Amino acid sequence: MTAGWERRRVLVTGAGGFIGSHLVERLVALGAPTRAFVEYDSRGSWGWLDDSPVKDAVEVHAGDVRDRDSVHTAMRGIDVVFHLAALIAIPYSYAAPNSYVQTNVEGTLNVLLAAREAGVGRVVHTSTSEVYGTARRVPIDEEHPLQAQSPYAASKIGADKLAEAFAASYDLAVVTLRPFNTYGPRQSMRAVIPTIITQCLAGDVVRLGNLHPTRDLNFVSDTVEGFVLAAVAARAPGQVINVGSGRETSIGELATLIAKTVGREIRIETDPQRLRPAASEVERLLADNRRALDLLGWRPQVTLEDGLAMTVDWVREHLTTYRVGTYAV
């Protein structure tokens, strides 16, 4: 699916993050002239793009989505915007909710305003399955009620509603992609899968929070392909589209599966630091991905077992230099 990408000038916000860096690499492989918007760092770091093989093939714009002028400058001459920049750590959102409003809500507003002013052809906005809260019904389709069970989720609902409003009010071609639980190489150590893998590699005790919540786990290359398809699908503008595997796995089952992949027998202990406030815990997530198939022709290609094996291999290789990023999705 390379036809036409060499004529689409693209901007990726959050390009130095987990999903963003994989997306940048995919776009470069497709031949798209790519501008990477990365969080300004006085040390000159581009996040995960620092070590990327495509680093010299992209134009880097360092800035902050909270800064209107920075975003407007980055948007000039762009045809397609992939907006991934966000604060994502749920536990920190309890301590600093205003930071999440500034980055996730006001930052998204800056992106939408700049895209409208620049005459951008399409904006692919990144949502999250966290906006659904604990499932009232499964599988979760896009019409499921939105329930903010953390300040992070509330900020993402606000951002999603801005995207919806701009699509309706200004005839801006906005697609809201709603990934479920993406995992794979480069994911922050704060996330559950890297946490389990590193503990399994270190010993036979794995300390986790609640083992009962279920998640729909999607390998990063599948999530990235959802973004690519959302940028070109004719019927996608104005739509919210789930990207998830359609498979439900509990945290306890996940730990057992990862231990098997690593080749270790483990004992699971409760870590109070990893427990969410009771009312804030999202107990169940399972995607209905039929709209993604219908509108995008998207379906997951990587099984959980294969994806975990690739992720374990990557963590093993990078264990001593594993970095933790804040601006990622």
- Is 327 noted as a catalytic residue in this protein? no
Q: Alpha carbon of 39 to those of 20, 49, 56, 64, 183: distances in Å?
A: 12, 12, 18, 5, 22
> Rounded CA gap, 174 and 239, in Å?
8
The identity of residue 264, as a single letter, is R
> Rounded CA gap, 63 and 67, in Å?
8
Report helix, strand or coil for 119.
coil
The identity of residue 318, as a single letter, is H
User: Which run of H or of E encompasses 44?
Assistant: none
- Do residues 189 and 326 lie in contact, with contact meaning Cβ atoms separated by under 8 Å? no
Of 100, 132, 152, 327, which one is the catalytic site residue? Answer: 152
List, edge to edge, every strand of the sheet that includes 240-243: 59-63, 34-39, 10-13, 80-83, 122-126, 174-179, 240-243
| Active site members | 152
